Amino acid sequence: MRGKFFILLTALLLTAVLIACGGAAAPTSAPPTSAPAATTVPAATTAPPAARAIKVGIVDTYSGPPAAFGNDALNGFKLALNEINKEGVLGSQIEFVTRDDKYQPDTALSMAKELVLQENVDVVVGTVNSAAALAISSFAKEQKVPYIVWIAKSEAITGAKGHRYVFSTSENTAMAGKAGAEALAKKPYINYWIAGEDYEYGHAIANSAWNNLTALNPNVKKAGETWWKTGEPDLTPYLTAIMAAKPDAIIFATGGAGMTNVLKTAKAMGLSDKIPMWIHTAIDTSVLKPLGENGPEGVMGTMDYLFYYPETPENQAFVKAYQDAYGAPPGFPAFHAYNTAHFIAEAFKKAGALDKEKFIDALAGLKIDSPTGEIEMRACDHQVAENMFMGVTKKDPRFEFLIAGDIVDVSSKDLMPSCEDVLKQRTQ
């Protein structure tokens, strides 16, 4: 018995010595496999593990007429990443995956859930549709995932329904409506007609413009309202009825392809020659370009980006880079998405880690240099603070489509609601 005990003890001691010396004792029950033998690497030469990529999930519209905006934004985002990834962020790159929401809020929410729960993205960005943006925003709040809106413009996104996890790099309806009201208040018009598409953005921009206008000029009156479904192809009956009412001016509350249809129909009917019109983004290139030289002149519009203005080296460099890459000048979606990419990169650099909460803290109040100058992500409501431009559509021999003339640069300080007003909206 003592001999067996001595043999067992000797075997255990031998095993311990082998392990201490960096070797390994093969188990008696399982023979060695083809796995490589363990090796010892001096600590001084151990390479740090590669940092993982920052993953951005994009939910946007890539089907139907609104795809023009989604694709323009995607191109602007890719252009920025080509610049950012040359140096990298936190020792790695920014990558992205896309999902097509088909301009449907339910589909957009489903795509966002897929990106967050299955793709494990660090940040969600998009979208064209304001209702879709609000749906994703609610989900982002629930999941505590940062969501940056780059096209949708409803002021509710960062206003009444805003929260810690949602940001906007686009001008919103509060800013646009006030800019439009500032222009209209200087005109002699009294009786107004409001008309547009019956959806979130349409009502948001109409309410903002009208509320600001009545505050600036208490004498104005609303002669009537007309609303049609989104995507309505034939606007002739609606515009005919408005012309018959003979208002002093019309506030059109529509965007994207719907606005192009308004401009096209108004031109064909002669409405734009008889009754003054204001439409936010009516001076945008992506709206006017499809109409060519047949677009209506004299339409008042507002916008936060024009590729031909301001004529600064920074904007000209951005336009050239985009034109060289994609064969056309950038529209406002490309501008917003380009800025979004740089906001993401700079916020992660400031945060110093791939941490969502640190990223949000870093993004709030962050300033970056954009093609049109320095812009800021306002800390109190996560709404980008940027100037806007007001102008009137006109022909220009340099282009085959209408552009904006009589451009007026309006400071963001004169357009944005106060932080106190925004927070009051949220508490209500």
Quick: pLDDT tens for 94-113. 999 999 999 999 999 999 99
Helix segments in 123-235, DSSP class H: 130-143, 173-185, 200-216
Whether the predicted pLDDT of 12 surpasses 80:
no
Q: pLDDT tens digits for 55-84?
A: 999 999 999 989 999 999 999 999 999 999
pLDDT at 256: 81
The amino acid that residue 141 corresponds to is K
User: Is the pLDDT reported for residue 31 higher than 70?
Assistant: no
| Residue percentage of the chain with pLDDT more than 90 | 84
- Residue 111's alpha-carbon distances to 56, 67, 146, 230, 291, in angstroms, are 13, 16, 15, 22, 33
CA trace torsion 266, 269, 273, 276 (10° rounding): -40
- Which pLDDT score, from 0 to 100, does residue 37 have? 32
Tell me: the pLDDT tens digits for 392-423?
999 999 999 999 999 999 999 999 999 999 99
Q: Summarize the confidence of residues 195-206 as an average pLDDT.
A: 96
pLDDT tens per residue across span 340-361: 999 999 999 999 999 999 999 9
User: Looking at the predicted structure, is the pLDDT value of residue 8 above 80?
Assistant: no
Strands of 94-100's sheet in order across: 94-100, 54-60, 123-126, 147-149, 166-168
CA pair distance 217, 186, nearest whole angstrom: 9
* Range 240-257 average pLDDT: 95
Q: Residue 123 above 90 pLDDT?
A: yes
* Mean pLDDT within 245-270: 94
- Cα–Cα distance list, 341 to 2, 17, 29, 179, 213 (Å): 75, 56, 56, 27, 35
Average pLDDT over every residue of 127-154: 97
pLDDT averaged over every residue in the chain: 89
Task: Domains for the chain: give ranges and CATH numbers.
Answer: 54-171+310-387 (3.40.50.2300), 175-303 (3.40.50.2300)
Query: Two tokens at 300?
Result: 């008042």
pLDDT at site 39: 30
Answer yes or no: is pLDDT of 49 > 80: no
- Non-local CB neighbours of 42 within 8 Å, separated by 6+ positions: none
Crossing angle for the helix pair 130-143 and 105-117, to the nearest 10 degrees: 30
Q: Has residue 292 got a pLDDT over 60? A: yes
Residue 286 pLDDT:
84
Q: What is the pLDDT of residue 65?
A: 87
Higher pLDDT, 231 or 362: 362
Nearest alpha-carbon partner for 153 in 138, 125, 131: 131
pLDDT at 51 over 90: no
Confidence of residue 290 (pLDDT cuts 50, 70, 90): confident
Per-residue pLDDT tens digits for 207-222: 999 999 999 999 999 9
